[in-house]
Structure 1
Protein backbone atom coordinates (compact mmCIF):
# COMPACT_ATOMS: atom_id res chain seq x y z
CA UNK A 1 0.00 0.00 0.00
CA UNK A 2 2.97 2.34 -0.57
CA UNK A 3 1.01 3.97 -3.46
CA UNK A 4 -1.80 4.91 -1.07
CA UNK A 5 0.62 6.67 1.25
CA UNK A 6 2.22 8.48 -1.68
CA UNK A 7 -1.22 9.60 -2.89
CA UNK A 8 -2.12 11.02 0.51
CA UNK A 9 1.20 12.83 0.66
CA UNK A 10 0.73 14.17 -2.89
CA UNK A 11 -2.70 15.67 -2.14
CA UNK A 12 -1.54 16.99 1.25
CA UNK A 13 1.20 18.97 -0.48
CA UNK A 14 -1.19 20.17 -3.18
CA UNK A 15 -3.38 21.50 -0.37
CA UNK A 16 -0.31 23.10 1.22
CA UNK A 17 -0.96 21.26 4.48
CA UNK A 18 1.63 20.07 6.98
CA UNK A 19 1.51 16.56 8.40
CA UNK A 20 0.52 18.06 11.74
CA UNK A 21 -2.42 19.94 10.21
CA UNK A 22 -3.72 16.95 8.27
CA UNK A 23 -3.37 14.56 11.21
CA UNK A 24 -4.99 16.83 13.81
CA UNK A 25 -7.76 14.99 15.70
CA UNK A 26 -7.52 12.08 13.24
CA UNK A 27 -4.28 10.33 14.17
CA UNK A 28 -0.85 11.23 15.52
CA UNK A 29 1.64 12.95 13.23
CA UNK A 30 3.96 9.96 13.57
CA UNK A 31 1.22 7.62 12.33
CA UNK A 32 0.51 9.87 9.34
CA UNK A 33 4.22 9.96 8.57
CA UNK A 34 4.34 6.17 8.61
CA UNK A 35 1.24 6.00 6.36
CA UNK A 36 2.78 8.39 3.83
CA UNK A 37 6.02 6.37 3.88
CA UNK A 38 4.16 3.13 3.22
CA UNK A 39 5.13 1.73 6.61
CA UNK A 40 1.57 1.57 7.92
CA UNK A 41 -1.87 1.05 6.39
CA UNK A 42 -4.66 3.31 7.75
CA UNK A 43 -7.86 1.69 8.92
CA UNK A 44 -11.11 2.56 7.12
CA UNK A 45 -12.12 5.30 9.57
CA UNK A 46 -8.74 7.07 9.48
CA UNK A 47 -8.55 6.81 5.68
CA UNK A 48 -12.03 8.27 5.28
CA UNK A 49 -11.24 11.20 7.59
CA UNK A 50 -7.93 11.95 5.87
CA UNK A 51 -9.54 11.90 2.44
CA UNK A 52 -12.40 14.09 3.62
CA UNK A 53 -9.95 16.68 4.92
CA UNK A 54 -7.99 16.52 1.66
CA UNK A 55 -11.15 16.95 -0.39
CA UNK A 56 -10.84 13.68 -2.31
CA UNK A 57 -12.82 10.46 -2.32
CA UNK A 58 -11.53 7.26 -0.77
CA UNK A 59 -11.92 5.62 -4.16
CA UNK A 60 -9.63 8.18 -5.77
CA UNK A 61 -7.00 7.74 -3.07
CA UNK A 62 -7.03 3.97 -3.37
CA UNK A 63 -7.13 3.80 -7.17
CA UNK A 64 -4.62 6.54 -7.96
CA UNK A 65 -1.61 5.03 -9.61
CA UNK A 66 1.38 6.80 -8.19
CA UNK A 67 4.46 5.07 -9.47
CA UNK A 68 6.67 6.19 -6.65
CA UNK A 69 9.59 3.99 -5.69
CA UNK A 70 11.62 5.19 -2.77
CA UNK A 71 15.18 5.77 -3.90
CA UNK A 72 16.39 5.35 -0.34
CA UNK A 73 14.84 1.92 0.21
CA UNK A 74 18.13 0.02 -0.10
CA UNK A 75 19.96 2.58 2.04
CA UNK A 76 17.42 2.28 4.85
CA UNK A 77 17.55 -1.50 4.72
CA UNK A 78 21.33 -1.51 5.00
CA UNK A 79 21.22 0.94 7.90
CA UNK A 80 18.55 -1.15 9.60
CA UNK A 81 20.57 -4.35 9.20
CA UNK A 82 23.63 -2.79 10.84
CA UNK A 83 21.57 -1.13 13.57
CA UNK A 84 19.44 -4.15 14.45
CA UNK A 85 22.58 -6.27 14.83
CA UNK A 86 24.40 -3.66 16.96
CA UNK A 87 27.12 -3.31 14.30
CA UNK A 88 27.81 0.32 15.09
CA UNK A 89 31.32 0.47 13.62
CA UNK A 90 29.99 -0.70 10.25
CA UNK A 91 26.98 1.60 10.56
CA UNK A 92 29.18 4.62 11.24
CA UNK A 93 31.33 3.84 8.19
CA UNK A 94 28.25 3.34 6.02
CA UNK A 95 26.69 6.65 7.09
CA UNK A 96 29.94 8.47 6.36
CA UNK A 97 30.65 6.84 3.01
CA UNK A 98 27.14 7.17 1.59
CA UNK A 99 26.28 10.67 2.83
CA UNK A 100 22.82 9.28 3.61
CA UNK A 101 21.37 12.50 4.96
CA UNK A 102 20.92 13.86 1.43
CA UNK A 103 18.68 10.92 0.48
CA UNK A 104 16.04 11.44 3.15
CA UNK A 105 13.06 13.78 3.10
CA UNK A 106 10.42 12.02 5.20
CA UNK A 107 10.29 12.66 8.94
CA UNK A 108 10.50 8.97 9.87
CA UNK A 109 13.55 8.46 7.63
CA UNK A 110 15.32 11.52 9.03
CA UNK A 111 14.45 10.37 12.53
CA UNK A 112 16.02 6.98 11.92
CA UNK A 113 19.10 8.60 10.38
CA UNK A 114 19.74 10.78 13.45
CA UNK A 115 18.97 7.86 15.76
CA UNK A 116 21.63 5.81 13.97
CA UNK A 117 24.07 8.72 14.00
CA UNK A 118 23.50 9.35 17.71
CA UNK A 119 23.92 5.66 18.50
CA UNK A 120 27.25 5.62 16.67
CA UNK A 121 28.42 8.67 18.61
CA UNK A 122 27.47 6.91 21.84
CA UNK A 123 28.71 3.35 21.25
CA UNK A 124 31.68 4.00 18.94
CA UNK A 125 32.97 7.47 19.86
CA UNK A 126 31.78 7.77 23.49
CA UNK A 127 30.73 11.28 22.46
CA UNK A 128 27.83 11.66 24.88
CA UNK A 129 27.13 15.32 24.15
CA UNK A 130 27.08 14.68 20.42
CA UNK A 131 24.84 11.66 20.97
CA UNK A 132 22.47 13.77 23.07
CA UNK A 133 22.15 16.35 20.28
CA UNK A 134 21.49 13.75 17.57
CA UNK A 135 19.04 11.71 19.64
CA UNK A 136 17.14 14.83 20.71
CA UNK A 137 16.88 15.88 17.07
CA UNK A 138 15.71 12.39 16.11
CA UNK A 139 12.95 12.39 18.71
CA UNK A 140 11.64 15.82 17.73
CA UNK A 141 10.79 14.73 14.18
CA UNK A 142 7.67 12.81 15.23
CA UNK A 143 7.36 12.52 19.00
CA UNK A 144 4.86 14.25 21.24
CA UNK A 145 4.14 13.12 24.82
CA UNK A 146 0.45 13.78 24.06
CA UNK A 147 0.32 11.13 21.33
CA UNK A 148 -1.91 8.15 21.99
CA UNK A 149 0.35 5.96 19.86
CA UNK A 150 4.12 5.65 19.74
CA UNK A 151 6.42 3.98 17.26
CA UNK A 152 9.07 1.44 18.21
CA UNK A 153 11.85 3.86 17.38
CA UNK A 154 10.34 6.72 19.37
CA UNK A 155 10.31 4.52 22.46
CA UNK A 156 13.85 3.31 21.83
CA UNK A 157 15.10 6.87 21.43
CA UNK A 158 13.48 7.84 24.74
CA UNK A 159 15.34 5.00 26.43
CA UNK A 160 18.66 5.85 24.81
CA UNK A 161 18.29 9.49 25.81
CA UNK A 162 17.85 8.27 29.37
CA UNK A 163 21.17 6.43 29.26
CA UNK A 164 22.96 9.41 27.73
CA UNK A 165 21.63 11.86 30.31
CA UNK A 166 22.77 9.55 33.11
CA UNK A 167 26.23 9.20 31.55
CA UNK A 168 26.39 12.98 31.44
CA UNK A 169 25.66 13.11 35.18
CA UNK A 170 22.07 14.31 34.78
CA UNK A 171 20.50 11.35 36.59
CA UNK A 172 17.06 12.79 37.33
CA UNK A 173 16.44 13.66 33.69
CA UNK A 174 17.83 10.31 32.60
CA UNK A 175 15.57 8.29 34.87
CA UNK A 176 12.55 10.27 33.67
CA UNK A 177 13.32 9.35 30.06
CA UNK A 178 13.88 5.70 30.98
CA UNK A 179 10.58 5.46 32.82
CA UNK A 180 8.77 7.32 30.02
CA UNK A 181 10.06 4.71 27.59
CA UNK A 182 8.72 1.90 29.77
CA UNK A 183 5.30 3.52 29.98
CA UNK A 184 5.24 4.15 26.23
CA UNK A 185 5.74 0.46 25.42
CA UNK A 186 2.08 -0.12 26.22
CA UNK A 187 1.12 2.34 23.48
CA UNK A 188 3.21 0.77 20.73
CA UNK A 189 1.47 -1.18 17.99
CA UNK A 190 3.32 -4.51 17.82
CA UNK A 191 5.01 -5.14 14.46
CA UNK A 192 8.02 -6.89 12.95
CA UNK A 193 10.38 -4.46 14.74
CA UNK A 194 8.85 -4.83 18.19
CA UNK A 195 11.56 -7.21 19.35
CA UNK A 196 13.93 -4.24 19.45
CA UNK A 197 12.04 -2.98 22.50
CA UNK A 198 13.73 -5.67 24.61
CA UNK A 199 16.66 -3.29 24.78
CA UNK A 200 14.60 -0.88 26.90
CA UNK A 201 14.47 -3.34 29.78
CA UNK A 202 18.21 -3.92 29.45
CA UNK A 203 18.94 -0.19 29.53
CA UNK A 204 17.05 0.51 32.74
CA UNK A 205 18.23 -2.72 34.41
CA UNK A 206 21.88 -1.98 33.66
CA UNK A 207 21.52 1.51 35.16
CA UNK A 208 20.05 0.05 38.36
CA UNK A 209 22.87 -2.53 38.50
CA UNK A 210 25.46 0.23 38.19
CA UNK A 211 23.78 1.99 41.12
CA UNK A 212 23.86 -1.35 43.02
CA UNK A 213 20.06 -1.30 43.21
CA UNK A 214 20.09 -5.02 42.53
CA UNK A 215 16.48 -5.76 43.46
CA UNK A 216 15.18 -3.19 41.00
CA UNK A 217 17.62 -4.36 38.34
CA UNK A 218 16.45 -7.97 38.67
CA UNK A 219 12.82 -6.93 38.28
CA UNK A 220 13.52 -5.27 34.92
CA UNK A 221 15.80 -8.09 33.80
CA UNK A 222 13.03 -10.62 34.40
CA UNK A 223 10.55 -8.41 32.57
CA UNK A 224 12.94 -8.10 29.64
CA UNK A 225 13.52 -11.84 29.48
CA UNK A 226 9.77 -12.46 29.57
CA UNK A 227 9.20 -9.81 26.88
CA UNK A 228 11.76 -11.46 24.59
CA UNK A 229 10.35 -14.92 25.24
CA UNK A 230 6.82 -13.76 24.49
CA UNK A 231 8.03 -12.49 21.11
CA UNK A 232 10.07 -15.66 20.54
CA UNK A 233 13.12 -13.53 19.79
CA UNK A 234 16.63 -13.56 21.22
CA UNK A 235 17.47 -9.88 20.66
CA UNK A 236 19.38 -8.62 23.74
CA UNK A 237 18.51 -11.86 25.55
CA UNK A 238 22.18 -12.76 26.04
CA UNK A 239 22.82 -9.32 27.53
CA UNK A 240 19.89 -9.69 29.91
CA UNK A 241 21.10 -13.05 31.20
CA UNK A 242 24.65 -11.64 31.47
CA UNK A 243 23.44 -8.84 33.73
CA UNK A 244 21.30 -11.25 35.75
CA UNK A 245 24.24 -13.62 36.25
CA UNK A 246 26.56 -10.78 37.25
CA UNK A 247 24.15 -9.65 39.96
CA UNK A 248 23.72 -13.19 41.29
CA UNK A 249 27.48 -13.60 41.52
CA UNK A 250 27.91 -10.33 43.43
CA UNK A 251 25.16 -11.42 45.80
CA UNK A 252 26.95 -14.71 46.45
CA UNK A 253 24.51 -16.97 44.59
CA UNK A 254 27.23 -18.54 42.47
CA UNK A 255 25.18 -21.50 41.32
CA UNK A 256 22.51 -19.29 39.75
CA UNK A 257 25.22 -17.03 38.37
CA UNK A 258 26.93 -19.95 36.62
CA UNK A 259 23.66 -21.19 35.16
CA UNK A 260 22.53 -17.80 33.86
CA UNK A 261 25.96 -16.96 32.44
CA UNK A 262 25.97 -20.33 30.67
CA UNK A 263 22.58 -19.47 29.17
CA UNK A 264 23.94 -16.08 28.08
CA UNK A 265 26.93 -17.81 26.50
CA UNK A 266 24.74 -20.33 24.68
CA UNK A 267 22.43 -17.64 23.28
CA UNK A 268 25.37 -15.51 22.15
CA UNK A 269 26.85 -18.48 20.31
CA UNK A 270 23.51 -19.35 18.78
CA UNK A 271 22.98 -15.90 17.27
CA UNK A 272 26.69 -15.53 16.41
CA UNK A 273 27.12 -12.48 18.64
CA UNK A 274 30.92 -12.45 18.83
CA UNK A 275 31.12 -9.68 21.41
CA UNK A 276 28.77 -11.38 23.88
CA UNK A 277 30.28 -14.82 23.21
CA UNK A 278 33.67 -13.43 24.22
CA UNK A 279 32.35 -11.55 27.26
CA UNK A 280 30.40 -14.51 28.64
CA UNK A 281 33.23 -16.96 27.97
CA UNK A 282 35.72 -14.71 29.75
CA UNK A 283 33.40 -14.39 32.73
CA UNK A 284 32.88 -18.17 32.99
CA UNK A 285 36.62 -18.75 32.82
CA UNK A 286 37.20 -16.09 35.47
CA UNK A 287 34.62 -17.82 37.64
CA UNK A 288 36.37 -21.12 36.94
CA UNK A 289 33.27 -22.52 35.34
CA UNK A 290 33.75 -22.70 31.60
CA UNK A 291 31.62 -25.61 30.35
CA UNK A 292 32.80 -27.90 27.62
CA UNK A 293 30.44 -27.27 24.68
Structure 2
Protein backbone atom coordinates (compact mmCIF):
# COMPACT_ATOMS: atom_id res chain seq x y z
CA UNK A 1 0.00 0.00 0.00
CA UNK A 2 1.44 3.39 -0.96
CA UNK A 3 2.06 5.75 1.94
CA UNK A 4 -0.10 8.55 0.51
CA UNK A 5 -3.00 6.16 -0.02
CA UNK A 6 -2.62 4.97 3.56
CA UNK A 7 -2.89 8.57 4.83
CA UNK A 8 -6.02 9.16 2.77
CA UNK A 9 -7.70 5.93 3.87
CA UNK A 10 -6.93 6.47 7.57
CA UNK A 11 -8.28 10.01 7.38
CA UNK A 12 -11.45 9.05 5.51
CA UNK A 13 -12.28 6.22 7.92
CA UNK A 14 -11.70 8.42 10.97
CA UNK A 15 -13.96 11.05 9.43
CA UNK A 16 -16.69 8.49 8.63
CA UNK A 17 -16.59 7.08 12.17
CA UNK A 18 -16.68 10.58 13.67
CA UNK A 19 -19.73 11.55 11.59
CA UNK A 20 -21.53 8.31 12.48
CA UNK A 21 -21.17 9.28 16.13
CA UNK A 22 -22.41 12.83 15.42
CA UNK A 23 -19.13 14.09 16.84
CA UNK A 24 -17.51 17.38 15.84
CA UNK A 25 -13.81 17.68 15.12
CA UNK A 26 -13.48 19.73 18.29
CA UNK A 27 -15.10 16.97 20.35
CA UNK A 28 -12.84 14.32 18.83
CA UNK A 29 -9.73 16.44 19.34
CA UNK A 30 -10.53 17.37 22.95
CA UNK A 31 -7.79 16.14 25.27
CA UNK A 32 -5.87 14.51 22.42
CA UNK A 33 -4.65 17.04 19.86
CA UNK A 34 -5.63 20.25 18.06
CA UNK A 35 -8.66 20.61 15.80
CA UNK A 36 -6.36 21.52 12.91
CA UNK A 37 -4.47 18.27 13.47
CA UNK A 38 -7.75 16.35 13.08
CA UNK A 39 -8.50 18.32 9.91
CA UNK A 40 -5.13 17.41 8.41
CA UNK A 41 -5.64 13.74 9.28
CA UNK A 42 -9.12 13.64 7.73
CA UNK A 43 -7.89 15.41 4.59
CA UNK A 44 -5.09 12.88 4.15
CA UNK A 45 -2.31 15.41 4.77
CA UNK A 46 -1.11 14.01 8.08
CA UNK A 47 -0.77 10.48 9.48
CA UNK A 48 -1.30 10.41 13.27
CA UNK A 49 1.36 9.04 15.59
CA UNK A 50 0.65 5.61 17.08
CA UNK A 51 -0.19 7.19 20.46
CA UNK A 52 -2.65 9.69 19.00
CA UNK A 53 -4.14 7.06 16.70
CA UNK A 54 -4.88 4.78 19.66
CA UNK A 55 -6.48 7.66 21.56
CA UNK A 56 -8.63 8.60 18.56
CA UNK A 57 -9.80 5.05 17.84
CA UNK A 58 -10.62 4.47 21.51
CA UNK A 59 -12.73 7.64 21.52
CA UNK A 60 -14.43 6.49 18.31
CA UNK A 61 -15.23 3.11 19.86
CA UNK A 62 -12.96 0.82 17.86
CA UNK A 63 -9.49 -0.63 18.30
CA UNK A 64 -6.48 0.07 16.08
CA UNK A 65 -6.85 -3.46 14.75
CA UNK A 66 -10.42 -2.67 13.64
CA UNK A 67 -9.19 0.48 11.92
CA UNK A 68 -6.59 -1.42 9.92
CA UNK A 69 -9.20 -3.99 8.90
CA UNK A 70 -11.37 -1.17 7.58
CA UNK A 71 -8.41 0.13 5.58
CA UNK A 72 -7.79 -3.26 3.99
CA UNK A 73 -11.44 -4.11 3.27
CA UNK A 74 -14.29 -1.67 2.54
CA UNK A 75 -16.82 -4.40 3.41
CA UNK A 76 -15.40 -4.44 6.94
CA UNK A 77 -17.45 -1.31 7.69
CA UNK A 78 -20.69 -3.25 7.07
CA UNK A 79 -19.39 -6.08 9.25
CA UNK A 80 -18.58 -3.57 11.98
CA UNK A 81 -22.10 -2.11 11.79
CA UNK A 82 -23.55 -5.63 12.05
CA UNK A 83 -21.41 -6.36 15.11
CA UNK A 84 -22.49 -3.09 16.73
CA UNK A 85 -26.15 -4.04 16.20
CA UNK A 86 -25.52 -7.51 17.63
CA UNK A 87 -23.98 -6.01 20.76
CA UNK A 88 -27.01 -3.77 21.16
CA UNK A 89 -29.17 -6.90 21.10
CA UNK A 90 -26.81 -8.60 23.56
CA UNK A 91 -27.26 -5.76 26.05
CA UNK A 92 -31.04 -6.22 25.68
CA UNK A 93 -30.82 -10.03 26.00
CA UNK A 94 -32.58 -10.22 22.64
CA UNK A 95 -31.29 -13.63 21.59
CA UNK A 96 -34.01 -14.20 18.98
CA UNK A 97 -32.96 -11.12 17.01
CA UNK A 98 -29.27 -12.01 17.34
CA UNK A 99 -29.86 -15.43 15.86
CA UNK A 100 -32.18 -14.24 13.08
CA UNK A 101 -29.92 -11.32 12.09
CA UNK A 102 -26.81 -13.51 11.84
CA UNK A 103 -28.75 -16.22 10.00
CA UNK A 104 -29.95 -13.59 7.51
CA UNK A 105 -26.61 -11.84 6.99
CA UNK A 106 -23.84 -14.41 7.34
CA UNK A 107 -24.13 -15.97 3.86
CA UNK A 108 -23.74 -12.63 2.09
CA UNK A 109 -21.09 -11.21 4.40
CA UNK A 110 -17.55 -10.92 3.07
CA UNK A 111 -15.71 -11.35 6.35
CA UNK A 112 -11.93 -11.46 5.94
CA UNK A 113 -10.88 -10.99 9.54
CA UNK A 114 -10.56 -14.16 11.63
CA UNK A 115 -11.44 -12.04 14.67
CA UNK A 116 -14.74 -10.92 13.09
CA UNK A 117 -15.49 -14.50 12.01
CA UNK A 118 -14.84 -15.64 15.57
CA UNK A 119 -17.03 -12.93 17.08
CA UNK A 120 -19.99 -13.62 14.78
CA UNK A 121 -19.73 -17.39 15.39
CA UNK A 122 -19.55 -16.69 19.13
CA UNK A 123 -22.66 -14.50 19.20
CA UNK A 124 -24.60 -17.02 17.12
CA UNK A 125 -23.50 -19.80 19.49
CA UNK A 126 -24.66 -17.80 22.53
CA UNK A 127 -28.08 -17.07 21.05
CA UNK A 128 -28.69 -20.62 19.83
CA UNK A 129 -27.53 -22.19 23.10
CA UNK A 130 -29.71 -19.91 25.24
CA UNK A 131 -32.76 -20.22 22.99
CA UNK A 132 -32.64 -24.02 22.77
CA UNK A 133 -31.16 -24.57 26.26
CA UNK A 134 -28.72 -27.04 24.72
CA UNK A 135 -25.79 -26.29 27.00
CA UNK A 136 -23.72 -29.40 26.27
CA UNK A 137 -23.61 -28.56 22.55
CA UNK A 138 -22.90 -24.93 23.43
CA UNK A 139 -19.94 -25.97 25.58
CA UNK A 140 -18.44 -27.99 22.71
CA UNK A 141 -19.03 -25.26 20.12
CA UNK A 142 -17.61 -22.49 22.25
CA UNK A 143 -14.37 -24.40 22.87
CA UNK A 144 -13.84 -24.70 19.12
CA UNK A 145 -14.65 -21.01 18.56
CA UNK A 146 -12.04 -20.01 21.15
CA UNK A 147 -9.42 -22.15 19.39
CA UNK A 148 -9.72 -19.99 16.25
CA UNK A 149 -7.42 -17.36 17.79
CA UNK A 150 -6.47 -18.17 21.37
CA UNK A 151 -2.99 -19.47 22.20
CA UNK A 152 -3.05 -21.55 25.38
CA UNK A 153 -1.40 -19.77 28.30
CA UNK A 154 -1.50 -16.29 26.76
CA UNK A 155 -3.50 -13.31 28.01
CA UNK A 156 -6.83 -13.20 26.13
CA UNK A 157 -8.13 -10.22 24.18
CA UNK A 158 -11.60 -8.83 24.96
CA UNK A 159 -13.43 -11.23 22.64
CA UNK A 160 -11.48 -14.26 23.86
CA UNK A 161 -12.20 -13.29 27.47
CA UNK A 162 -15.92 -13.06 26.66
CA UNK A 163 -15.83 -16.49 25.02
CA UNK A 164 -14.05 -17.90 28.07
CA UNK A 165 -16.52 -16.63 30.63
CA UNK A 166 -19.50 -17.70 28.52
CA UNK A 167 -17.95 -21.18 28.52
CA UNK A 168 -17.92 -20.97 32.33
CA UNK A 169 -21.53 -19.80 32.35
CA UNK A 170 -22.62 -22.68 30.13
CA UNK A 171 -20.91 -25.07 32.58
CA UNK A 172 -23.01 -23.52 35.35
CA UNK A 173 -26.22 -23.80 33.31
CA UNK A 174 -25.32 -27.43 32.62
CA UNK A 175 -25.22 -27.97 36.41
CA UNK A 176 -21.43 -28.41 36.46
CA UNK A 177 -21.27 -26.00 39.39
CA UNK A 178 -17.83 -26.66 40.87
CA UNK A 179 -16.19 -26.72 37.44
CA UNK A 180 -17.90 -23.44 36.57
CA UNK A 181 -16.87 -21.80 39.85
CA UNK A 182 -13.21 -22.82 39.53
CA UNK A 183 -13.05 -21.87 35.87
CA UNK A 184 -14.68 -18.45 36.28
CA UNK A 185 -12.66 -17.60 39.37
CA UNK A 186 -9.47 -18.37 37.46
CA UNK A 187 -10.52 -15.90 34.73
CA UNK A 188 -10.72 -12.99 37.17
CA UNK A 189 -6.97 -12.37 36.81
CA UNK A 190 -7.50 -11.25 33.20
CA UNK A 191 -9.89 -8.37 34.00
CA UNK A 192 -7.04 -5.87 34.34
CA UNK A 193 -4.95 -7.13 31.40
CA UNK A 194 -7.34 -6.35 28.53
CA UNK A 195 -6.93 -3.02 26.72
CA UNK A 196 -10.09 -2.96 24.61
CA UNK A 197 -13.66 -4.24 24.95
CA UNK A 198 -16.45 -3.89 22.38
CA UNK A 199 -18.57 -2.81 25.33
CA UNK A 200 -17.75 -2.00 28.96
CA UNK A 201 -20.70 -4.19 29.93
CA UNK A 202 -18.43 -7.21 29.52
CA UNK A 203 -16.80 -6.72 32.94
CA UNK A 204 -19.98 -6.50 35.07
CA UNK A 205 -21.49 -9.32 33.00
CA UNK A 206 -18.50 -11.50 33.89
CA UNK A 207 -19.03 -10.69 37.56
CA UNK A 208 -22.73 -11.59 37.33
CA UNK A 209 -21.71 -15.07 36.20
CA UNK A 210 -18.92 -15.35 38.78
CA UNK A 211 -21.30 -14.35 41.60
CA UNK A 212 -23.89 -16.85 40.36
CA UNK A 213 -21.24 -19.56 40.53
CA UNK A 214 -20.24 -18.44 44.04
CA UNK A 215 -23.85 -18.49 45.24
CA UNK A 216 -24.56 -21.88 43.69
CA UNK A 217 -21.47 -23.40 45.35
CA UNK A 218 -22.00 -21.63 48.71
CA UNK A 219 -18.83 -19.55 48.42
CA UNK A 220 -20.68 -16.60 49.89
CA UNK A 221 -17.85 -14.60 51.48
CA UNK A 222 -16.34 -13.73 48.09
CA UNK A 223 -19.58 -12.28 46.75
CA UNK A 224 -19.42 -8.97 48.60
CA UNK A 225 -16.13 -7.98 46.94
CA UNK A 226 -17.31 -9.00 43.47
CA UNK A 227 -20.71 -7.32 43.79
CA UNK A 228 -19.40 -4.05 45.22
CA UNK A 229 -16.73 -3.80 42.52
CA UNK A 230 -19.09 -4.56 39.63
CA UNK A 231 -21.80 -2.21 40.92
CA UNK A 232 -19.27 0.64 41.18
CA UNK A 233 -17.87 -0.24 37.73
CA UNK A 234 -21.34 -0.21 36.14
CA UNK A 235 -22.08 3.20 37.61
CA UNK A 236 -18.70 4.61 36.58
CA UNK A 237 -19.07 3.52 32.95
CA UNK A 238 -22.84 4.10 32.75
CA UNK A 239 -23.71 0.44 32.15
CA UNK A 240 -26.90 0.71 34.16
CA UNK A 241 -28.78 -2.16 32.53
CA UNK A 242 -26.67 -4.68 34.50
CA UNK A 243 -27.39 -3.03 37.86
CA UNK A 244 -30.79 -4.69 38.50
CA UNK A 245 -29.19 -8.14 38.27
CA UNK A 246 -26.29 -7.14 40.50
CA UNK A 247 -28.57 -5.67 43.17
CA UNK A 248 -30.83 -8.71 43.01
CA UNK A 249 -27.84 -11.02 43.47
CA UNK A 250 -26.77 -8.93 46.44
CA UNK A 251 -30.28 -9.32 47.89
CA UNK A 252 -30.06 -13.08 47.33
CA UNK A 253 -26.73 -13.12 49.13
CA UNK A 254 -28.28 -11.44 52.17
CA UNK A 255 -31.21 -13.86 52.08
CA UNK A 256 -28.80 -16.78 52.16
CA UNK A 257 -27.10 -15.13 55.13
CA UNK A 258 -30.53 -14.90 56.83
CA UNK A 259 -30.59 -11.10 56.80
CA UNK A 260 -34.14 -10.60 55.61
CA UNK A 261 -34.33 -6.82 56.14
CA UNK A 262 -31.31 -6.21 53.88
CA UNK A 263 -32.78 -8.69 51.41
CA UNK A 264 -36.03 -6.71 51.15
CA UNK A 265 -34.26 -3.37 50.71
CA UNK A 266 -31.97 -4.61 47.94
CA UNK A 267 -34.67 -6.68 46.25
CA UNK A 268 -36.92 -3.61 46.00
CA UNK A 269 -33.97 -1.54 44.76
CA UNK A 270 -33.33 -4.11 42.02
CA UNK A 271 -36.97 -3.95 40.89
CA UNK A 272 -36.96 -0.15 40.91
CA UNK A 273 -33.75 0.02 38.88
CA UNK A 274 -35.18 -2.43 36.39
CA UNK A 275 -38.25 -0.24 35.85
CA UNK A 276 -35.98 2.77 35.27
CA UNK A 277 -33.56 1.06 32.85
CA UNK A 278 -35.61 -1.63 31.10
CA UNK A 279 -36.23 -1.92 27.38
CA UNK A 280 -39.84 -2.41 26.38
CA UNK A 281 -39.07 -5.80 24.83
CA UNK A 282 -36.82 -7.06 27.63
CA UNK A 283 -38.38 -9.75 29.84
CA UNK A 284 -35.01 -11.25 30.72
CA UNK A 285 -34.82 -9.72 34.19
CA UNK A 286 -38.21 -11.04 35.35
CA UNK A 287 -37.31 -14.52 34.08
CA UNK A 288 -33.89 -14.27 35.75
CA UNK A 289 -35.40 -13.26 39.12
CA UNK A 290 -38.16 -15.89 38.92
CA UNK A 291 -35.68 -18.68 38.18
CA UNK A 292 -33.30 -17.58 40.95
CA UNK A 293 -36.13 -17.43 43.52
CA UNK A 294 -37.35 -20.90 42.54
CA UNK A 295 -33.80 -22.22 42.78
CA UNK A 296 -33.29 -20.54 46.15
CA UNK A 297 -36.54 -21.95 47.52
CA UNK A 298 -35.69 -25.46 46.33
CA UNK A 299 -32.20 -25.30 47.84
CA UNK A 300 -33.44 -24.05 51.20
CA UNK A 301 -36.12 -26.76 51.35
CA UNK A 302 -33.65 -29.61 50.81
TM-score, normalised via structure 1 length: 0.67
Segment of structure 1 superposing worse, 68-77 or 243-252: 68-77
Shift of 1:268: 1.2
Shift of 1:167: 3.7
Task: State the Cα deviation string for residues 183-231 of structure 1 (Å, max 9, x = none).
Answer: 1111011556223221111101011112233223333222221222332
Shift of 1:127: 0.9
**Residue 158 of structure 1, aligned match among 157, 164, 181:** 164
Matched, 1:130 2:137: yes
TM-score, normalised via structure 2 length: 0.65
Task: State the Cα deviation string for residues 8-39 of structure 1 (Å, max 9, x = none).
Answer: xxxxxxxxxxxxxxxxxxxxxxxxxx9xxx94
Q: Judging changes above 3 Å, is the alpha-carbon distance between structure 1 residues 125 and 162 closer, same or farther for their aligned structure 2 residues?
A: same
Task: State the Cα deviation string for residues 41-67 of structure 1 (Å, max 9, x = none).
Answer: 37xxxxxxxxxxxxxxxxxx9xxx868
CA distance in 2: counterparts of 1:222 and 1:67, whole angstroms: 43
Partner of 1:205: 211
Matched, 1:108 2:150: no
**Residue 237 of structure 1, aligned match among 233, 243, 248:** 243
Instruction: Flag structure 1 segments of 5+ consecutive residues without an equivalent.
Output: 5-33, 43-60, 287-293
Describe the SS at the equivalent of 1:215: coil
Counterpart mapping for 1:173-212 below 5 A = 173-190=179-196, 193-212=199-218
CA distance in 1: counterparts of 2:185 and 2:289, whole angstroms: 32
Counterpart mapping for 1:39-54 below 5 A = 39-41=62-64
Shift of 1:89: 1.7
C-alpha RMSD of matched pairs (Å): 3.8
Matched, 1:275 2:275: no
State whether residues 93 and 284 of structure 2, in contact with CA within 8 Å, keep that contact through their aligned partners in structure 1: no
CA distance in 2: counterparts of 1:158 and 1:250, whole angstroms: 28
Matched, 1:82 2:105: no
State whether residues 169 and 209 of structure 2, in contact with CA within 8 Å, keep that contact through their aligned partners in structure 1: yes
Counterpart mapping for 1:138-153 below 5 A = 138-148=145-155, 150-153=156-159
State whether residues 3 and 67 of structure 1, in contact with CA within 8 Å, keep that contact through their aligned partners in structure 2: no
Q: Judging changes above 3 Å, is the alpha-carbon distance between structure 1 residues 244 and 158 closer, same or farther for their aligned structure 2 residues?
A: same
Task: State the Cα deviation string for residues 60-106 of structure 1 (Å, max 9, x = none).
Answer: x9xxx868342423322322221232211221222223335854231
Partner of 1:290: none
CA distance in 1: counterparts of 2:108 and 2:181, whole angstroms: 31
Task: State the Cα deviation string for residues 151-191 of structure 1 (Å, max 9, x = none).
Answer: 32221211111122344455554334312321111101155
Segment of structure 1 superposing worse, 163-172 or 236-245: 163-172
State whether residues 132 and 165 of structure 1, in contact with CA within 8 Å, keep that contact through their aligned partners in structure 2: yes
Instruction: Flag structure 2 segments of 5+ consecutive residues without an equivalent.
Output: 1-6, 11-56, 295-302
Task: State the Cα deviation string for residues 92-135 of structure 1 (Å, max 9, x = none).
Answer: 22222333585423111111112112211332111112211332
Task: State the Cα deviation string for residues 219-275 of structure 1 (Å, max 9, x = none).
Answer: 322222122233232142111111111221233222211211122112211221442
Partner of 2:224: 218
CA distance in 2: counterparts of 1:107 and 1:197, whole angstroms: 23
Segment of structure 1 superposing worse, 164-173 or 176-185: 164-173
**Residue 250 of structure 1, aligned match among 256, 268, 271:** 256
CA distance in 2: counterparts of 1:2 and 1:75, whole angstroms: 25
